[in-house]
Structure 1
């Protein structure tokens, strides 16, 4: 395995490494004499083995014939066919978006949605969005003069598409979208750290038997997994449960580009939640978060669970961002927003709390043991006693209770009894939110009833203002016209 990795690094260096001063004497481009398919004389094919950052190794090929001037450029993936197909979508909103690098393999389909143009699989390309659109416009222009006489109706329709494509290239038709769908999973559109939700999207999907056959794979290449391809979203653009979505992000640890993965899951007998996971392969930073959705309930919820066995420690627990966590027997209290949203077990949640607190108290300056030396003996003894009690609770050596107080009723503890029978160790009670909780959640400034009448009233006022401005403008024009007539008569 180590030999394969060394070989890949040796041959597939990044473009930046290829042009480093230390590589000046090396010849990164291989030149091969090959037959020109245009004039049937010999030309030169140049091969460059390189690595695209945050993607994979590719082979860039460029052919040139000095006899007839024919040129051709292609890109081929150096890796194998990926386990899943990939679908990229980029929403262009400004001119810099045209510079996004695009790797289109020979199995990929490119589509400009608003232009209603689809480019079928063909030769591989290493280009950008502007290059893709320019090639489409140029291909459509080829033969237009002949079509003008032979097929006038076709000529007019193609001319309309060409004009719209040129308007896109000129930046007069923003926003519009481009997609790259590759069953082999070897195509790519470069993301940007500033991309927001809906700007750049990547989805993976299982190939159909027909797609596997087109790629030269057997129909059961997905190891028996059902091959129904699920779309990236439904007809209304809603997120599909259990579908993994990826979008670009910035690593909080090293501020380099990384990827955040998102997945919506259904918690049985509860609601849908969104799992967020960020992993940075450069510095090793990892984070997991849970977001709850749905309508805001009328009341908050307080859930109490008694923990006195290993089975209780293994209960699934969802603690939302707005939830307060308490364990009175061990003196633990975690305010809302401290840990963010977490979906784990009771044991896992307490272990995370224990590790975070221990780091802050005893490793405050980043070196183990040094932070605790600044504590006075009484405080150090008190914290040591607290962590001993917490450790014994995590190990299941003492009973305790977990209290979740959530003003949005978005937290959850797994029941070990089949519904509809209640779990004797879990009690739930609903309460009226306090004014302070309403303010913290921003609910005091939110109007959910009667807004239709307010909107209608605002529209009426706007119309009255517009009519008044129109009348004043008309009066001013009449006065100006009368003055002009008077001046003319004089």
Structure 2
């Protein structure tokens, strides 16, 4: 029995690839209505994401069109970026925009709606420059035919130019319901001092805009499509349907190369904590591994903050459950990582630091020139590796507003914490409840409403 070697659907973009898999499709030409040729290449831009390159050409009229589309899945949540542009370095920040990214400059009451521009890799200054180029187009003809409108546009162009000159501080706001939007942090691995990121849950209308529908919203024939959820799909199992000794297996697509893969899912009990679902995926095509942990319960009444002292290699032995809402920081290294950056995982302090290094090295390396923070990033990675080798002592701080994270207590007395662990339970702020979606959640009065 012969077996076919499984290859990644999305391969790294390389000029040395001897066998790029290009798909050719006969397509309709929108210019002359004859039949042309569309060529598709599924590839991966290094340190960025999977993309689909499309090139159309028509031999009849010579019309050509090139386009790039994201090849990955939409993020689970939408994303909002708010950047205060104060310094020349802020203008040079690199930005990844998807088709669904809307751009707003509140100081000018200026907005570029989502899906009005194609996705691109650019800079903050590039966004302003592209807007100016679009407004300046056909100004000569406009001055002759509509002088009043042309004068208003000239005034607005001057205001945009003032933003590029940094005559005053201004704000750039990016909103992307697909979650595929990124703003460079020149201070990485430290928290960005002038940029705020907030994830948000999409509305049903926004899901429909992306083509995402629930099982009840689609017609029955859709159930036969690849990847469609069915009532028996393991991804819809409840905790009552999972056995503590049972491992579920179901087919998925690799998040890295999109090749068929298998995900294993198991419900397990963490001693002195709660039940959690552990999911692991291994892709035979590209070797990518993912491990994800979901809490078996809802949001706890209080948030929790763990301070773990790491002074020797022995301190790396304790178990840690980090939920998706748990942020990580190391004051000695001036490092702060948001909760969703490392995702939910059941690991150890060593595993968390290794994951942080891996993710920092895989961060988008945009443009041809090295990032301004690249040297600082390498120095930081060297310091983390010193910690892993036991040469440097640090304090690992895990802060989870949802209270769904856990750090193993090494003390023989369960009523007391060991000397290397400090645990603090706290009341969440309004902003933390807002991010968790609790402020608008109705938990009382159901009987009266029913």
TM-score range, shorter chain: 0.3 to 0.5
Structure ranking higher in helix proportion: 1
**Higher RCO, Cα 8 Å, sep 6+:** 2
| TM-score, length of structure 2 as denominator length | 0.47
Q: TM-score, normalised by structure 1?
A: 0.44
